[in-house]
């Protein structure tokens, strides 16, 4: 195992331990909050208005105004939640610790646990419609559903590698990013998988696509790799940072990547070139994992440690009242 893979596993272990030491009491459903204080691990922006964020202590937050105001929804759990995906304003899924997957059909007012058949931590999941979804996590776990999570099938390759990012195209192509530069590619919605070499030694943590052929992944040590043939071959691109990049999001030619120490990168050519985005110095005290772009416009949400929430508006970022420029 490489040095950065081992360090990342230790970091995740600390996060899990902190979450198990205690936390907020069980939240009242749809309780408005003045600001988020939990660590946020993932966000999902369905459209310009509807958004969700999940994180430490089983926290789920919902916004009806693009992330300006939030209300807390009751998950029924105090374990960390790592991934979130919605296919409509009513239906969505959340993944978390120890094989947890939650499902809602009423916009998050209530959540039901689905049977996954695993106790592995599920660090991410993605759905393209109400039936097809993929969840990934530690020790190479890959789960597939074709019935909205009523049943989940283990499609793992049996490798001891942590898998952190997953992106699913409506065509059925799926890409998974993991430790030691691992990329897994599926052409059939996640039923069968092929491991592809990226040339990267560092762990890859986030993956996204411009279209069904153009795919980009980011990770530790500022690593950025891209494929123009659906993930069959990969090219490494020069990164403006050596800081860990935890996630990325692409919408057409516009791309954003976020990471440790307040790092935000921006691309205007589909992820081929990235520039370090100028940000307030105080942002270096935060890490960012949650990143989601609206599919219909240039809006987006960035979220991270201690309830940090920033708003993408075109080529600019609204830092809110927490920071001064």
d(CA 273, CA 276): 10
Q: What is the pLDDT of residue 35?
A: 86
Tens digit of each residue's pLDDT (9 = 90 or more) over 113-129: 999 999 999 999 999 99
Q: Where are the domains of the chain?
A: 3-322
CB 55 within 8 A of CB 73: no
298: Cβ–Cβ under 8 A, 6 or more apart, which residues?
Answer: 251, 254, 312, 313, 314, 315
What value does the mean pLDDT take over residues 144-158?
A: 97
d(CA 204, CA 198): 10
In this predicted model, which residue has the larger pLDDT, 11 or 207?
A: 207
Residues comprising the chain, all counted:
325
Which residue, among 40, 111, 45, 113, has the nearest Cα to 81 in the 3D structure? 40
Coil, strand or helix: which one is 22?
Answer: coil
Tens digit of each residue's pLDDT (9 = 90 or more) over 51-76: 999 999 999 999 999 999 999 999 99
In percent, how much of the chain has pLDDT > 70? 90
Q: What is the pLDDT of residue 4?
A: 56
Tens digit of each residue's pLDDT (9 = 90 or more) over 226-250: 999 999 999 999 999 999 999 999 9
List residues bridging with 143 in a β-sheet: 135, 154
Q: Is 107 left (phi over 0), alpha (psi -120 to 50) or beta?
A: left
What value does the mean pLDDT take over residues 164-186?
A: 97
Q: What is the pLDDT of residue 44?
A: 98
Tens digit of each residue's pLDDT (9 = 90 or more) over 6-28: 556 555 544 443 343 333 333 34
Residue 97 phi/psi, 5-degree rounding, is: -65, 145
Coil, strand or helix: which one is 160?
Answer: coil
Q: What is the pLDDT of residue 16?
A: 47
The CATH number of domain 3-322, selected from 2.130.10.10, 1.10.3720.10, 1.10.10.410, 1.20.1530.20: 2.130.10.10
């Amino acid at each position: 195992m490489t040095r950065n893979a081992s360090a990342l596993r230790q970091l995740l272990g600390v996060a899990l331990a902190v979450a198990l030491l205690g936390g907020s009491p069980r939240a009242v459903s749809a309780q408005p909050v003045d600001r988020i204080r939990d660590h946020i691990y993932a966000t999902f922006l369905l459209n310009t208005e509807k958004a969700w964020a999940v994180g430490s202590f089983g926290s789920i937050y919902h916004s009806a105004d693009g992330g300006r105001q939030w209300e807390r929804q009751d998950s029924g759990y105090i374990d960390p939640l790592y991934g979130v995906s919605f296919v409509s304003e009513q239906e969505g899924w959340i993944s978390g610790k120890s094989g947890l997957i939650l499902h809602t059909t009423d916009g998050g007012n209530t959540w039901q646990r689905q049977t996954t058949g695993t106790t592995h931590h599920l660090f991410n999941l993605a759905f393209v419609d109400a039936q097809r979804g993929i969840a990934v996590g530690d020790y190479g776990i890959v789960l597939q559903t074709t019935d909205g999570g009523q049943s989940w099938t283990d499609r793992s390759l049996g490798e001891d590698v942590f898998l952190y990012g997953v992106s699913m195209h409506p065509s059925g192509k799926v890409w998974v990013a993991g430790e030691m530069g691992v990329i897994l590619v599926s052409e059939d919605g996640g039923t069968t998988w092929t491991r592809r070499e990226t040339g990267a030694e560092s762990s890859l943590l986030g993956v996204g696509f411009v279209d069904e052929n153009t795919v980009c992944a980011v990770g530790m040590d500022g690593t950025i790799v891209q494929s123009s043939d659906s993930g069959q071959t990969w090219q490494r691109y020069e990164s403006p940072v050596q800081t860990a990049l935890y996630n990325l999001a692409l919408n057409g030619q516009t791309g954003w990547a976020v990471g440790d120490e307040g790092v935000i990168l921006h691309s205007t050519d589909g992820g081929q070139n990235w520039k370090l985005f100028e940000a307030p110095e105080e942002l270096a005290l935060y890490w960012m994992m949650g990143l989601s772009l609206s599919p219909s416009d240039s809006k987006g949400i960035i979220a991270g440690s201690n309830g940090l929430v920033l708003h993408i508006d075109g080529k600019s970022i609204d830092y809110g009242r927490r920071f001064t420029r």
